[in-house]
Chain A
Amino acid sequence: GQSLEQPSEVTAVEGAIVQINCTYQTSGFYGLSWYQQHDGGAPTFLSYNALDGLEETGRFSSFLSRSDSYGYLLLQELQMKDSASYFCAGENNAGNMLTFGGGTRLMVKP
Chain B
Amino acid sequence: DAGVIQSPRHEVTEMGQEVTLRCKPISGHDYLFWYRQTMMRGLELLIYFNNNVPIDDSGMPEDRFSAKMPNASFSTLKIQPSEPRDSAVYFCASSNDVTEAFFGQGTRLTVV
Which A residues fall within an 8 A CB radius of B?
31, 33, 41-45, 48, 50, 87, 91, 95-103
Contact = CB atoms under 8 A, between A and B. Distances in A.
Contacts of B97: 95
Interface of B: 31, 33, 35, 42-43, 45, 48, 50, 55-56, 91, 93, 97-106
A107 to B, nearest CB: 16
12 contacts: A33-B98, A43-B91, A43-B103, A45-B100, A45-B101, A91-B99, A95-B98, A96-B31, A98-B33, A98-B45, A100-B35, A100-B42
Contacts of B56: 97
Contacts of A100: 35, 42-43, 45
Where chain B touches its partner, the secondary structure class is strand
B13 to A, nearest CB: 21
A95 B55 CA distance: 12
Contact of B103 (A44, A91, A103): A44
A103 B103 CA distance: 16
Given A33-B101, A43-B101, A91-B98, 11 more contacts: A42-B104, A43-B93, A43-B103, A87-B43, A91-B99, A96-B31, A96-B55, A97-B55, A99-B45, A102-B42, A103-B42
Contacts of B55: 96-97
Contact of B98 (A43, A87, A98): A98
Contacts of B33: 98
Contacts of A43: 43, 91, 93, 101, 103
A48 B56 CA distance: 23
B43 A97 contact: no
A52 B48 CA distance: 28
A96 B93 CA distance: 13
A50 B100 CA distance: 12
Contact of A96 (B98, B102, B105): B98
A87 B105 CA distance: 17
A89 to B, nearest CB: 8
B103 A48 contact: no
